[in-house]
Amino acid sequence: MRRDYQIVVLGGGSGGISAARAAKRAGLSVAMVQDGPIGGECTFSGCVPSKVLIEAARQGLPYGSAHQRLKAVIAEIAEEENKNAFLEAGIDVFEARGRLGSEDGLLDTSLGVSLRYDHLILATGSTPMHPFIPGPSERYLTNENVFELVDTPKELVVVGGGAIGCELAQAYRRYGSKVTVLELSERLLPAEDYDASMLLGTVFRNEGIETIYKATVSAVREKADGTLELDLSNGDRLSASHILLATGRSPSTSSLNLEENGVSLDERGYVKVDRHLRTSKNNIYAVGDVTGIALLTHAADEMGRIAVHNITHPLRKRSFHPLDVPIVIFTDPEYARIGPSPSSIPNTSTKTVTFEIKDSDRAKITGRREGFIKLTVTRKSIFGYVGGGRVLSATIIGDRASELIHEVELARRSRMFAGRLAQTVHAYPSSSIALRQCAAKLFP
Ligand SMILES: Cc1cc2nc3c(=O)[nH]c(=O)nc-3n(C[C@H](O)[C@H](O)[C@H](O)COP(=O)(O)OP(=O)(O)OC[C@H]3O[C@@H](n4cnc5c(N)ncnc54)[C@H](O)[C@@H]3O)c2cc1C
Ligand SMILES: NC(=O)c1ccc[n+]([C@@H]2O[C@H](COP(=O)([O-])OP(=O)(O)OC[C@H]3O[C@@H](n4cnc5c(N)ncnc54)[C@H](O)[C@@H]3O)[C@@H](O)[C@H]2O)c1
CATH code at 188? 3.50.50.60
Atom of ligand 2 nearest to the CA of 188: 39
Tell me the C-alpha distance between 336 and 331, whole Å. Answer: 10
Sign of CA dihedral 93, 99, 100, 102: negative
Whether residues 144 and 233 fall in one domain: yes
CA 85 to chain centre: 26
Whether residues 356 and 419 fall in one domain: yes
Tell me the CA–centroid distance for residue 331 and ligand 2, in Å. 14
CA 312 to chain centre: 28
pLDDT for position 441: 97
pLDDT for position 348: 76
Helix (H, G, I), strand (E, B) or coil at 95: strand
> Which one of 263, 291, 323 terminates a domain?
323
Q: Quickly list H helices, 187-265.
A: 194-206
Tell me the CA–centroid distance for residue 305 and ligand 2, in Å. 26
pLDDT for position 377: 95
Whether residues 122 and 147 fall in one domain: no
pLDDT digits (tens, 9 = 90+) for 135-160: 999 999 999 999 999 999 999 999 99
How much is the pTM?
0.97
Does 358 reside within a domain? yes
Does 60 reside within a domain? no
pLDDT for position 192: 96
Tell me the C-alpha distance between 350 and 346, whole Å. Answer: 7
Helix (H) or strand (E) run with residue 406 in it: helix 401-413
CA distance readout (Å), 150 to 67, 145, 153: 7, 11, 9
Atom of ligand 1 nearest to the CA of 110: 42
Atom of ligand 1 nearest to the CA of 296: 19
Q: Going by CA atoms, what residue is nearest to atom 32 of ligand 2?
A: 216
Tell me the C-alpha distance between 363 and 437, whole Å. Answer: 13
Helix (H) or strand (E) run with residue 2 in it: strand 2-10
> Which one of 199, 217, 247 terminates a domain?
247
pLDDT for position 203: 98
Does 300 reside within a domain? yes
Whether residues 10 and 118 fall in one domain: yes
Does 175 reside within a domain? yes
Of the CA atoms within 13 Å of residue 326, those in its CB half-sphere come to 22
CATH code at 368? 3.30.390.30
pLDDT digits (tens, 9 = 90+) for 367-396: 999 999 999 999 888 888 889 999 999 999
Q: Domain range holding 280?
A: 2-39+81-128+250-323
Does 61 reside within a domain? no
Closest among 248, 297, 292 to 51, alpha carbons compared: 297
Count how many domains the chain has: 3
Tell me the C-alpha distance between 67 and 43, whole Å. Answer: 15
Does 422 reside within a domain? yes
Cβ contacts of 37 within 8 Å, gap of 6 or more: 12, 43, 44, 78, 82
Diameter of the chain measured on Cα atoms: 72
- For residue 441, give the amino acid letter: K
pLDDT for position 344: 83
Whether residues 343 and 396 fall in one domain: yes
Whether residues 310 and 281 fall in one domain: yes
Mean pLDDT by 10 residues, the chain (444 residues): 96 98 98 97 98 96 98 96 96 98 94 97 98 96 98 98 98 98 98 97 98 97 97 97 98 96 97 98 98 98 98 98 97 97 79 97 97 94 88 97 98 94 97 98 94
- For residue 130, give the amino acid letter: H
Whether residues 149 and 217 fall in one domain: yes
Can you name the residues that pair with 221 across neighbouring β-strands?
229
Tell me the CA–centroid distance for residue 14 and ligand 1, in Å. 7
